[in-house]
Homo-oligomer: A and B are copies of this chain.
Amino acid sequence: MTFELNPTAASLLGFLHDGPMSGWDLVVRAEERIGEFWSLTQSQVYRELARMAQEGLVEAGEPGTRARKVYAISDEGRDAFVEWVRRPPGNENIRFPLLLTLAFGQHVPDPMLASFISRHRIIHHDRLANYERQRAEMPSDYEDVDPYAVATLEFGITYERAVLQWFDQLPRRLTDLRDE
């Protein structure tokens, strides 16, 4: 009976397969690679690393400058990770505050709602541009590209396109900014 990992901790172990890293390194890498569909905070990363070190899933190297500790995955960590990653994944969980506000839109003046919507549309537009840039920058020679990273990036692109499409078919009344 191996240690029970949560998805956040497990992801850290996943990244540590590429070599030892500090908490900060992991935060940055997680943001790049899974931030699109798995949010985590810097503070969680440090906590999970500390816990996993206690359990022997990772090993901390000697503190360097700024008390920087570099963590390496252990054999126990590899075992726990493989066990985790081969379990049937749970259902997805979306929390989209804009839609909550919209669902109760009758309590919000329409122009205010329109301004909320327009701000979020920009965010999604920018994210899509970012993902598309990433895809464009990938080596066209598919030998060098991790097919799993491609698949998740494709998800981001498909998702953001759909969201924009949804924005663009909202009734004019909900997107008209005249008074705000």
Residues of A that sit less than 8 Å from B by CB: 7, 10-11, 14, 17, 33-34, 36-39, 81-82, 85-86, 88-109, 112, 116, 119-120, 123, 146-149, 151-152, 154-155, 158-159, 161-163, 165-166, 169-171, 173-174
Contacts and interface: CB of A to CB of B under 8 A. Distances in A.
Contacts of A148: 102-106
A10 B108 CA distance: 14
Nearest to A166: B158
A169 B171 CA distance: 31
Contacts of A119: 88
A100 B151 contact: no
B100 A11 contact: yes
A97 B92 contact: yes
Contacts of A162: 158-159, 161-162
A34 B103 contact: yes
Nearest to A157: B166
A2 to B, nearest CB: 15
A93 B91 contact: no
Contacts of A151: 102, 105, 170-171, 174
A171 B155 CA distance: 13
Nearest to A99: B37
Interface centre among A10, A107, A119 (most CB of B within 10 A): A107
